[in-house]
Amino acid sequence: MKIALVSDAWAPQVNGVVRTLTTTVAWLRRIGHAVETFTPDQFATVSCPTYPEIRLALLAGPALGRRLAAFAPEAVHIATEGPLGWAARRWCLDRGMPFTTSFHTRFPEYLAMRTHLPADWFWPPVRRFHAPAAAVFAATPTLEAELHRRGLAHTHRWSRGVDTAQFNPAGPSLADYDDLPRPILLHVGRVAVEKNIEAFLQLDVAGTKVVVGEGPALASLRARYPHVRFLGSLAGERLAAAYRGADLLVFPSRTDTFGLVMIEALASGVPVAAYPVPGPLDILVTPGSGVMRDDLAEAAVAALSLDRATCARIGQGYSWATCTAQFAAGLVRHQLHMAA
């Protein structure tokens, strides 16, 4: 199958959306599909306001349309609601070509946190973006139910996987931990206001707090919390060692649609503490994987006593092969059948 994947989120951005998309593309190609990506690095871009590391391809519609036409895809998947996503949506609608979308990011909630306006005010354009799609791919049952309540009932389950060859309990710990008081409480993710990181940084829990990641709030938080170890962005074996050597992953976000870092931590044998919100509610359902409480400090203390071998067994059960099969099946069911 010839698949066009359009995304405003792509390397060099480092986040769960990019890791999900790049891994899915690699697996799709591995099983024989021809995949062409349409991403900001192929066009002239400008910096996203408040997120200079994110580049937006503005006014790229004509060039994108020509590239899509030249590729002549059998299926189009639009992963993001950014400028390229809207341009690809228009290209498909103009030609009567079915397309699918995915819901990776709760933009209404993010915008509400930044503007102090109600999230409901920002849902109409999001609903408009996804409404004509043949299906909206969603990672969890909780997210699907939320989209249904928001008027987007045409969903398709597309879960997430973990690279168990990289994220596992075998191997060294991060050397940066050697002189730190235990337990090591770890946070991995974009350092931004919507991740609710300060709920983690303010925990009154013994040990050392470590933050892995970069983002617009990094400089401010580093200055305000000098006792926290900010390690910046890590990848590859250093990221795996950061998980492996930690005693606990604290996931304070209330707005994520999944939380890829949680299953990476679990696969590394590290329990998770989180709020009982979408994302954790779908991942931390197996006893022994983590603790969810409205009091995050209580959740952290309780989760530290969980068995690491049990966490690893749970995390190792997430398969990219299964997720990629779900993705491909969604394209066949919702695009090729509609076009037939």
Claim to verify: residue 238 and residue 292 sit in the same structural domain: yes
CATH number at residue 303: 3.40.50.2000
Q: How confident is the model at residue 6 (pLDDT cuts 50, 70, 90)?
A: very high
Claim to verify: residue 253 and residue 221 sit in the same structural domain: yes
In-domain check, residue 56:
yes
Given a cut of 90, whether residue 72 has pLDDT beyond it is yes
In-domain check, residue 105:
yes
Claim to verify: residue 44 and residue 119 sit in the same structural domain: yes
In-domain check, residue 169:
no
Given a cut of 60, whether residue 340 has pLDDT beyond it is no
pLDDT digit string, tens, across residues 92-101: 999 999 999 9
Claim to verify: residue 226 and residue 137 sit in the same structural domain: no
Claim to verify: residue 189 and residue 304 sit in the same structural domain: yes
In-domain check, residue 123:
yes
Quote the mean pLDDT of the chain: 94
Claim to verify: residue 8 and residue 93 sit in the same structural domain: yes
In-domain check, residue 198:
yes
Claim to verify: residue 258 and residue 327 sit in the same structural domain: no
Claim to verify: residue 138 and residue 24 sit in the same structural domain: yes
Range of the domain at 241: 175-315
Claim to verify: residue 143 and residue 269 sit in the same structural domain: no
pLDDT digit string, tens, across residues 298-335: 999 999 999 999 999 999 999 999 999 999 999 998 77
Q: Count of domains in the chain?
A: 2
Claim to verify: residue 140 and residue 62 sit in the same structural domain: yes
Claim to verify: residue 240 and residue 146 sit in the same structural domain: no
In-domain check, residue 166:
no
In-domain check, residue 35:
yes
Given a cut of 90, whether residue 1 has pLDDT beyond it is yes
pLDDT digit string, tens, across residues 249-275: 999 999 898 999 999 999 999 999 999
Lowest-pLDDT range of 57-61, 114-118, 222-226, 287-291: 114-118
Claim to verify: residue 124 and residue 253 sit in the same structural domain: no
State mean pLDDT over 188-199: 94
pLDDT digit string, tens, across residues 151-184: 999 999 999 999 999 999 999 999 999 999 999 9
Q: Report the 3 state secondary structure along the chain.
A: CEEEEECCCCCCCCCHHHHHHHHHHHHHHHCCCEEEEECHHHCCCEEECCEEEEEECCCCHHHHHHHHHHHCCCEEEECCCCHHHHHHHHHHHHHCCCCEEECCECHHHHHHHHHCCCHHHHHHHHHHHHCCCCEEEECCHHHHHHHHHCCCCCEEECCCCCCCCCCCCCCCCCHHHCCCCCCEEEEECCCCHHHCHHHHHCCCCCCEEEEECCCCCHHHHHHHCCCCEEEECCCHHHHHHHHHHCCEEEECCCCECCCHHHHHHHHCCCCEEECCCCCHHHHCCCCCCEEECCCHHHHHHHHCCCCHHHHHHHHCCCCHHHHHHHHHHHHHHHHHHHHC
Res 168: pLDDT: 97
Given a cut of 90, whether residue 125 has pLDDT beyond it is yes
Given a cut of 90, whether residue 48 has pLDDT beyond it is no
In-domain check, residue 34:
yes
Q: Is 184 exposed, middle or buried (0-12, 13-18, 19+ CB in 10 A)?
A: buried
State mean pLDDT over 73-90: 97
